[in-house]
Amino acid sequence: MRTLRDAKVGETVTVARLHGEGPVKRRIMDMGITKGVEIFVRKVAPLGDPMELNLRGYELSIRRMDAEMIEVVESASIF
């Protein structure tokens, strides 16, 4: 299983599945991260936390802990 945390800077990935339960999963979904969404990894802080992402036309920063709950695949492999 590959998570968003494993994605490299400059890579575009597609969300395959969200892990987690309750309020944590709901918060991730409220940020616009849902199944099938393409995410471009723009930057990662020097110590790896947070990650700056582009998705749905806006920029988002998330913590490494949250990125581990987002299962991703390479964008080309989902089609």
Identify the pLDDT of residue 76.
64
Within a 10 A sphere around the Cβ of 63, how many other Cβ atoms? 11
Q: Which residues form the domain of 11?
A: 4-78
User: pLDDT tens-digit profile of 1-50?
Assistant: 899 999 999 999 999 999 988 898 999 999 999 999 999 999 999 887 89
Give the H or E element holding residue 14.
strand 12-18
Would you say 4 and 61 are in contact if contact means Cβ atoms under 8 Å apart? no
What's the structural domain count of the chain?
Answer: 1
